[in-house]
Chains A and B, each alone.
Chain A
Amino acid sequence: MHIVVCIKQVPDSAQIRVHPVTNTIMRQGVPTIINPYDLFSLEEALRLRDRFGGEVTVVTMGPPMADASLRKCLTYGADRAVLLTDRFFAGSDTLATSYALSYLIKKVAQEWGEPDIIFCGKQTIDGDTAQVGPGIAKRLNLLQLTYVAKIDEFDLAAREIVIHRRAEGGIQILKTKLPCLVTMLEGTNDMRRGSIEDALRGARSEIVTWNAAEAGIPDLALCGLKGSPTIVKKVFAPSPRAEKAFQIEVQGKTPAEISDAVIGEINQRQPGLEQDIQKMAAGF
């Protein structure tokens, strides 16, 4: 079995700040990490490989320094890593990214076999669009299973997969044919810690690095800024809420006294709330 996992190296958004004057994102000195949502997909891929055998290929598109994230995937236990890097890709939006990645996956398929399943993260923490995975599925004409909470059954012989998908108001149980593209939900598994053997292999392995030509990208006009119709109209930092946090003075010490004081304070500040709640409660 061959599994391809798409990851992205992102700035650690917890440490990012917006420049107060220019409103641009200040990336300088901000450490980069593997997009956290991608790790749930990588772990799921590794689990499938451990159960059914085969290989996991991790791919990314990004600057040369993205090789650090790929190397980390190898230490988790991935079998190989491919970096697509070229100045033509600078400024890609999700349309251009999914275009480039779809050809990268085709090239990976040529080199190491057609993938039976492709994993992407649910979304990235820097763009938050959740468009690249579905974009790749569309371009490769694959069935797509997004927001997957659990892989229930995986039958390589019958080439079928059954998954639980989180949907509005409930869980969908879906069965589909392989190959397909899956994006995993967060919290569905815990990323493993690679063994010392994996770690040594990861530190030693060569990262396969291709430019646009080597990856066989046919039309560079569809890549990078040129191939990106998205226009950033305005970037702004949300203004802080007008009302600040405040402390509630509580006389008593028991939980009942403390909660009474808190509820009393809320009722005082939100007149009518108590009535609304009582009305709602009456409706049940």
Chain B
Amino acid sequence: MANEKFDAIVVGAGPSGNACAYTLATRGLKVLQLERGEYPGSKNVQGAILYADALEKIIPDFREDAPLERHIIEQRLWMMDDKSYCGAHYRSEDFNEDKPNRYTIIRAPFDKWFSKRVVQAGALILCETTVTELVRDAHDKVIGVRTDRDGEAIYADVVVLAEGVSGLVGARAGLRSIPKPDTVALAVKEMHFLPRETVEQRFNLEGDEGVVIEAAGTITKGMVGTGFLYTNKECISIGIGCLISDFTESDQSPYGLLEAFKNHPSVKPLLAGSEVKEYAAHMIPEGGYKAIPQLFGNGWLIVGDAGQFVNAVHREGSNLAMTTGRIAAETILDLKTRNAPMTAHNLAAYKARLDESFVMKDLKKYKNLPKVLHNKHLLTTYPQLLSQAAQTWFRVDGVDKKSKENEIVKSFFRTRRVKGLLGDVLGMARGWR
């Protein structure tokens, strides 16, 4: 048993770790996956939306047996103030396709399924095993890990850190710093169970069709964050998240925000009569491009949330996790095939491949956005102005339309002045570009 050696050790059984371990194991590599939770998925929390494309590139036939909830045919974006929302909805029959593009999922059964596929591919998984430190050789190359169990170190050619946003192995080894409070959001969510027919009636759905709502505005009490509501087959996932730095500065609690969001007059009827069966919380890395740590080194790679791979604007995370896991695995496989050592020089190919993929391109596009979003007017003042404008516009009260238009325009200038408005527009434009 001494000097047990694997081709690769993957730390963590979330989407990025599973994608990596699966890709390596299907190609015949000897893979060990270590998970600190009681079972794979026990530490994982997500909204959750599955973007099919990322998983399809790893497991093409996943639709055959993966536990999926509803495919999304309608996306609603809500700007909310305390009494109203002003929304943009997009619904299309085109999303009722043979191979739908986005699904709602419940992570508990989904992660169980994903992990089973990893085991079937031939990887060895140890749960309730926390990696405590990386083992290095005389040349400072990572050659294995030590765990919180008694016994020898376990060795591998390469160690992939898929340890999530709060993983400590990389931080302890000095490979990455612990994410700062203003680059991490804390999100809480609840699962509200309702009969299937009720979900379908309330959201105008048939069969496995689904709706998602993303919401911003005064629901976050002036903090940077968003709320969401996703339809599953027999339940609704509802949650809200804000930057940790904002929470520490405010007197708001995450569950307080969620309670208020649930009791918003536009949300409450959607949840009426439901039974809450699950409550979960998780951190989301939202620092974007500028918060991405060094991703490779001598004998190691970082994938998924541990690498800050979340596109906060488009609410994409698990797909970036799976994609970075897959690309890490493909890099390793390529080096293995060429009999090349897992040095920092050779593993740099991982970063190069990421740069060529949508992962880095998208994150780079929004590299300035996290800073722009710190402008609290965007998520508080504007939703209020928008909502007031809509009300002025729609209310029929004998005031002539020209005066109404003037009133709306004035309300914007009164609140933000010319300079503020211009600055906000330019800031957004710069962040978006």
Tell me whether B57 is interfacial, beta carbon within 8 Å: no
Q: Which residue, of B129, B147, B277, has the highest number of chain A Cβ atoms within 10 A?
A: B129
Chain A 116-149 near chain B by CB (<8 Å), digits 1 or 0 = 0000000000000000000000000000000000
Q: Which residue of B lies closest to A199 (CB)?
A: B126
Tell me whether B124 is interfacial, beta carbon within 8 Å: yes
Set B32, B126, B149, B277: member contacting A193, Cβ < 8 A: B149
Q: How far is the CB of A142 from chain B (nearest CB, A)?
A: 34
Set A29, A195, A201, A204: member contacting B149, Cβ < 8 A: A195
Q: Which residues of chain A have C-beta atoms less than 8 A from B147's C-beta? A: 196
Judging by beta carbons under 8 Å apart, are A200 and B150 in contact? Answer: no
Q: Which residues of chain B have C-beta atoms less than 8 A from A204's C-beta? A: 124
CA distance A29 to B129 in the complex (A): 24
Q: How far is the CB of B144 from chain A (nearest CB, A)?
A: 11
Known: A196-B149, A197-B152, A199-B149. 9 other contacts (CB 8 A): A29-B277, A193-B149, A196-B147, A197-B151, A199-B126, A199-B129, A200-B1, A200-B124, A203-B125
Q: How far is the CB of B190 from chain A (nearest CB, A)?
A: 15
Q: Which A181-212 residues sit within 8 Å CB-CB of chain B?
A: 193-201, 203-204
Set B124, B125, B154: member contacting A196, Cβ < 8 A: B154
Tell me whether B4 is interfacial, beta carbon within 8 Å: yes
Judging by beta carbons under 8 Å apart, are A197 and B1 in contact? Answer: yes
Q: Which residues of chain B have C-beta atoms less than 8 A from A195's C-beta? A: 149-151
Q: Which residue of A lies closest to B149 (CB)?
A: A196
Q: Which residues of chain B have C-beta atoms less than 8 A from A196's C-beta? A: 126, 129, 147, 149-152, 154
Q: Which residues of chain B have C-beta atoms less than 8 A from A203's C-beta? A: 124-126
Q: Which B144-163 residues sit within 8 Å CB-CB of chain A?
A: 147, 149-152, 154
Interface size class of B (residues with CB under 8 A): 10 to 19
CA distance A196 to B152 in the complex (A): 7
Q: Which residues of chain A have C-beta atoms less than 8 A from B149's C-beta? A: 193-196, 198-199
Q: Which residue of B lies closest to A204 (CB)?
A: B124
Q: Which residues of chain A have C-beta atoms less than 8 A from B152's C-beta? A: 196-197
CA distance A42 to B192 in the complex (A): 39
Judging by beta carbons under 8 Å apart, are A200 and B4 in contact? Answer: yes
- B-side residues, CB < 8 A to A, are 1, 4, 32, 108, 124-126, 128-129, 147, 149-152, 154, 277
A sample of 6 inter-chain contacts (CB < 8 A) reads A75-B126, A193-B149, A195-B150, A199-B126, A200-B32, A200-B154
Q: How far is the CB of B5 from chain A (nearest CB, A)?
A: 12
Q: How far is the CB of A68 from chain B (nearest CB, A)?
A: 8
Q: How far is the CB of B398 from chain A (nearest CB, A)?
A: 54
Task: In the A-B complex, list the 8 residue pairs whose CB atoms are closest, starting with the nearest.
Answer: A196-B151, A195-B151, A195-B150, A196-B149, A197-B1, A199-B126, A197-B151, A203-B124
CA distance A29 to B152 in the complex (A): 37
Chain A 21-44 near chain B by CB (<8 Å), digits 1 or 0 = 000000001000000000000000
Q: How far is the CB of A43 from chain B (nearest CB, A)?
A: 16
Q: Which residues of chain B have C-beta atoms less than 8 A from A197's C-beta? A: 1, 151-152
Q: Which residue of B lies closest to A33 (CB)?
A: B38
Q: How far is the CB of B337 from chain A (nearest CB, A)?
A: 26
Q: How far is the CB of A34 from chain B (nearest CB, A)?
A: 12
Q: Which residue, of A75, A193, A196, has the highest number of chain B Cβ atoms within 10 A?
A: A196
Q: How far is the CB of A210 from chain B (nearest CB, A)?
A: 22
Q: Which residues of chain B have C-beta atoms less than 8 A from A201's C-beta? A: 1
Q: Which residues of chain A have C-beta atoms less than 8 A from B32's C-beta? A: 200
Q: Which residues of chain A have C-beta atoms less than 8 A from B4's C-beta? A: 200
Q: Which residues of chain A have C-beta atoms less than 8 A from B124's C-beta? A: 200, 203-204
Chain A 93-110 near chain B by CB (<8 Å), digits 1 or 0 = 000000000000000000
Q: Which residues of chain A have C-beta atoms less than 8 A from B277's C-beta? A: 29
CA distance A29 to B109 in the complex (A): 9
CA distance A155 to B4 in the complex (A): 37
Q: Which residues of chain A have C-beta atoms less than 8 A from B1's C-beta? A: 197, 200-201
Q: How far is the CB of B412 from chain A (nearest CB, A)?
A: 49
Q: Which residue, of A198, A200, A201, has the highest number of chain B Cβ atoms within 10 A?
A: A200
Q: Which residue of A lies closest to B38 (CB)?
A: A31
CA distance A206 to B150 in the complex (A): 23
Q: How far is the CB of A183 from chain B (nearest CB, A)?
A: 26
Q: Which residues of chain A have C-beta atoms less than 8 A from B126's C-beta? A: 75, 196, 199-200, 203
Chain A 66-77 near chain B by CB (<8 Å), digits 1 or 0 = 000000000100
Q: Which residues of chain B have C-beta atoms less than 8 A from A200's C-beta? A: 1, 4, 32, 124, 126, 154
CA distance A26 to B365 in the complex (A): 49
Q: How far is the CB of B292 from chain A (nearest CB, A)?
A: 32
CA distance A203 to B1 in the complex (A): 14
CA distance A194 to B154 in the complex (A): 15
Q: Which residue of B lies closest to A201 (CB)?
A: B1
CA distance A200 to B3 in the complex (A): 13
Q: Which residues of chain B have C-beta atoms less than 8 A from A199's C-beta? A: 126, 129, 149
Q: Which A2-31 residues sit within 8 Å CB-CB of chain B?
A: 29
Q: How far is the CB of B116 from chain A (nearest CB, A)?
A: 11
Q: How far is the CB of A42 from chain B (nearest CB, A)?
A: 16
CA distance A82 to B154 in the complex (A): 28
Q: How far is the CB of A48 from chain B (nearest CB, A)?
A: 20
CA distance A204 to B151 in the complex (A): 17
CA distance A233 to B277 in the complex (A): 30
Q: Which residue of A lies closest to B123 (CB)?
A: A203
Q: How far is the CB of B134 from chain A (nearest CB, A)?
A: 15
Q: Which residue of A lies closest to B145 (CB)?
A: A196
CA distance A130 to B47 in the complex (A): 43
Q: Which A211-268 residues sit within 8 Å CB-CB of chain B?
A: none
Q: How far is the CB of B191 from chain A (nearest CB, A)?
A: 10
Q: Which residue of B lies closest to A193 (CB)?
A: B149
Q: How far is the CB of A9 from chain B (nearest CB, A)?
A: 13
Q: Which residues of chain A have C-beta atoms less than 8 A from B128's C-beta? A: 75
Q: Which residue of B lies closest to A196 (CB)?
A: B151
Q: Which residues of chain A have C-beta atoms less than 8 A from B154's C-beta? A: 196, 200
Q: Which residue of A lies closest to B126 (CB)?
A: A199
CA distance A199 to B34 in the complex (A): 11
CA distance A193 to B150 in the complex (A): 8
CA distance A168 to B346 in the complex (A): 71
Q: Which residue of B lies closest to A202 (CB)?
A: B126
